[in-house]
Structure 1
Amino acid sequence: MSFTQPASVTLHAGCKINLHLEITGVRENGYHELDTLFFPLPSPFDTITISKGATGSGLLLECPALSIPPEKNIIYKSWKKYSDATGWKPDLAITVEKGIPDGAGLGGGSSDAAIILNYLNKYCPNNALSPERLNTLAASIGADVPFFLNNVPAHATGIGDILEPSTISLSGYSLVLICPDISISTPWAFAEWDKTMRSTSASNNKKEILTTTPSKDRKHSSRALWLFNSFEVVVYSAFPKLRAYKEKLMSFGAEGAVMSGSGSSIFALYRETEQAARAATALEAEGVATYLHHL
């Protein structure tokens, strides 16, 4: 069922954190097997304004914060793949105001893509995609995109595209998310992790980590708040300032702190609101972009 397409609409694309992220193997094609728990957050967010375009204009995309050609943008890719799949190629003018930092491990691009796909599927006059087909299309755009289609906590395996809803609740916690002014390339982080695993002298450990054979426990159902990130070992070696930020967050009494995605953002969980507020104030005083959430 389609809805009447509005002349203009402004939407907020929120971000995600990874409560845990474990690289469990490497496929023959080089893609990495993951076991991760996605958790959505409302901020930081990107602001996306979608307006009807002039007839025949196609997609006019404006994103001043990213110095790349519009056709290289994940939003353009989403619009193009959706139109190829359904035959509906709406004329749109889209403006993106970035609030989610690039290279922070918060899934900003994937979140934008999901916003566009959901918009297109909502207003598609004919041939709107089923949830299953939309999910498949989303996965072809980016591994994190399917998660953002529903934007609820989810356990992910495969390359991050096999999703199961999670009942995890962080109710009662306060969460401090920091976004240092450091951009980390995800391909670089994977390459460094591969290099580290290949160079380790513990051959048995290497065989266990670089295998596609699943271990006995990959859902971590008994340790839902197991805060862990396989990328930390390589990212903190290259960016020791990030390790110092994590230690500072812990010093204010956090239950735990961990990097999200391939970095550079870090979050910490606090049982006491006052502790979280003090931590947020301290990091803000150092000039670090900080977001305080009461969950």
Structure 2
Amino acid sequence: MTITQPDSVTLRAGCKINLHLEITGVREDGYHELDTLFFPLQEPFDTITIAKGSAGTGLILNCPALSIPPEKNIIYKSWEKFGAATGWKPDLKISVEKGIPDGAGLGGGSSDAAVVLNYLNKYCPNNALSADALNKLAATIGADVPFFLNNVPAHATGIGDVLTPSDITLEGYSLVLICPDVSISTPWAFAAWDKAMLQEPSCNNKKEFLTTATSKDRKHSSRALWLFNSFEVVVYSAFPKLRAYKDKLIEFGAVGAVMSGSGSSIFALYREMEQAARAATALKAEGVATYLHHL
């Protein structure tokens, strides 16, 4: 049954963190193989307003926060690819108010793309895609886009597009997410990791990069959750300020802390809400964008 397309709708696009991110290899096509655990968060978020456009206008996209041509935006790419797959390219006006920082490793662009794909598939009058077909289409747009289509915890392999739902829960923890004013290019991070691996293959050894500030890890939760990120060794070398922020989060009593994606965001888990609140207050006082979650 076809659902009537609304004149206008406003949707939220949440973000994700990587509880675990290990680069396991490099494929012949140059893409990197990953083993990662995605976990969705409700904020920060982007606000996406989608309205019907005038006949023949195609997609009019407004995203002032990103200084790129609309045609280069992942939303535009999603609209075009969905149209090619289904034959439906509706005239739309889409406005994006960015709340997820760019270059933070939180998947903001991928989340936006998934919200738009779900919208298009929901209101497609004919030839709406099956869940599997939509997932495959999403993977051609961006490696993280399939995860955001369902937005539930998931273990991912391949380039991050082979998903298995995960029953992991962080219930009872408080989580502090910080987004320092540093934008990190994912292609740069992969290139830096490649270079580091050529020079010192052991740099991807989990045993050498535990989540605590000291060499002796007494916090079993960090090991149980495998809070690890292959990118940390190269990102922290280039941006030591980020390592200092991670250490500060741990000093407030976190059971573990780790960078998300290719950075620059970092999150920490706390058993005590009061500890998390103190950490959040301290980082905010330094001018760092900070989000406190009680899970």
Q: Give the letter aligned to residue 249 of structure 1.
A: L
Distance change >3 Å, CA 159–CA 224, structure 1 → 2 = farther
Q: Which residue number corresponds to residue 126 of structure 2? A: 126
Please give the secondary structure, in 2, of the residue aligned with 1:6. coil
Alpha-carbon displacement from aligned partner over 1:28-70 (angstroms, at most 9, x marks no partner): 1111000000000000000000000001110000000001000
Measured in 2, the distance between the counterparts of 1:47 and 1:72 equals: 19
Task: Please list, as runs of the form range in 1=range in 2, the aligned pairs for 1:3-42 lying within 5 A after superposition.
Answer: 3-42=3-42
What SS class does the counterpart of residue 41 from structure 1 fall into?
A: strand
Give the direction of change, closer, same or farther, for the CA distance of 1:207–1:19 in structure 2 (3 Å limit). Answer: closer
Q: Which amino acid aligns with 1:29?
A: D
- State how far apart, in whole Å, the 1-side matches of 2:2 and 2:226 are: 41
Shift of 1:206: 8.6
Distance 2:84 2:135 in 1: 15
Q: Which amino acid aligns with 2:176?
A: V
- After superposition, residues 123-202 of structure 1 pair within 5 angstroms as 123-200=123-200
Query: What is aligned with 1:267?
Result: 267
Whole-angstrom distance in 2 between the partners of 1:38 and 1:108: 13
Match of 1:214 in 2: none
- Give the equivalent residue in structure 2 for 1:115: 115
Q: CA deviation at 1:224?
A: 5.5
Residue equivalent to 1:212 = none
The aligned amino acid for 1:19 is: L
* 1:2, distance to aligned residue in structure 2 (A): 2.9
Given that 1:17 and 1:41 are in contact with CA atoms closer than 8 Å, whether structure 2 keeps it comes out as yes
Q: Which amino acid aligns with 1:92?
A: L
* % same residue: 82
Determine the structure 1 residue equivalent to 2:227: 227
Aligned length: 279
- Aligned to 1:193, the other structure's residue is in SS state helix
Distance 1:289 1:208 in 2: 31
Task: Specify every segment of 5 or more residues in structure 1 that has no aligned partner in the other structure, as ranges.
Answer: 210-222
**Counterparts of 1:8 and 1:111, CA distance in 2:** 19
Whole-Å separation in 1 of the counterparts to 2:5 and 2:196: 51
CA gap of 1:227–1:127, structure 2 versus 1, over 3 A, is same
* CA distance in 2: counterparts of 1:190 and 1:254, whole angstroms: 28
Deviation at 1:238, TM superposition (A): 0.2
Tell me the SS of whatever aligns to 2:64: coil
TM-score (norm 2): 0.93
Q: Decide whether the 8 Å contact of 2:19 with 2:39 is kept in 1.
A: yes
Secondary structure of the structure 1 residue equivalent to 2:88: coil
Match of 1:101?
A: 101
Deviation of 1:207 (Å): 11
1:251, distance to aligned residue in structure 2 (A): 0.2
Q: Distance in 2 between matches of 1:173 and 1:99?
A: 24
Q: Indicate the SS of the match to 2:278.
A: helix
Q: Tell me, in whole angstroms, the C-alpha distance in 2 between the residues paired with 1:162 and 1:254.
A: 31
Equivalent in the alignment of 1:219? none
Which segments of 5 or more consecutive residues in structure 2 lack a partner in the other structure?
207-222
Question: SS in structure 1 opposite 2:117?
Answer: helix
Deviations 1:154-181 (A, max 9, x none): 0000000000000000000000000000
- State whether residues 196 and 234 of structure 2, in contact with CA within 8 Å, keep that contact through their aligned partners in structure 1: yes
Give distance in 2, aligned partners of 1:207 and 1:289. 29
CA gap of 1:207–1:123, structure 2 versus 1, over 3 A, is closer
Deviations 1:201-244 (A, max 9, x none): x5xx59999xxxxxxxxxxxxx6511000000000000000000
TM-score, scaled to structure 1: 0.93
Aligned twin of 1:57: 57
Counterpart of 2:254 in structure 1 is: 254
Amino acid in the other structure paired with 1:264: S
Residue 92 to residue 224, structure 1, CA distance change in 2 (3 Å):
farther
Match of 2:292 in 1: 292
SS of equivalent to 1:5: coil
Separation in structure 2 between the aligned mates of residue 232 and residue 148 of structure 1, nearest angstrom = 24
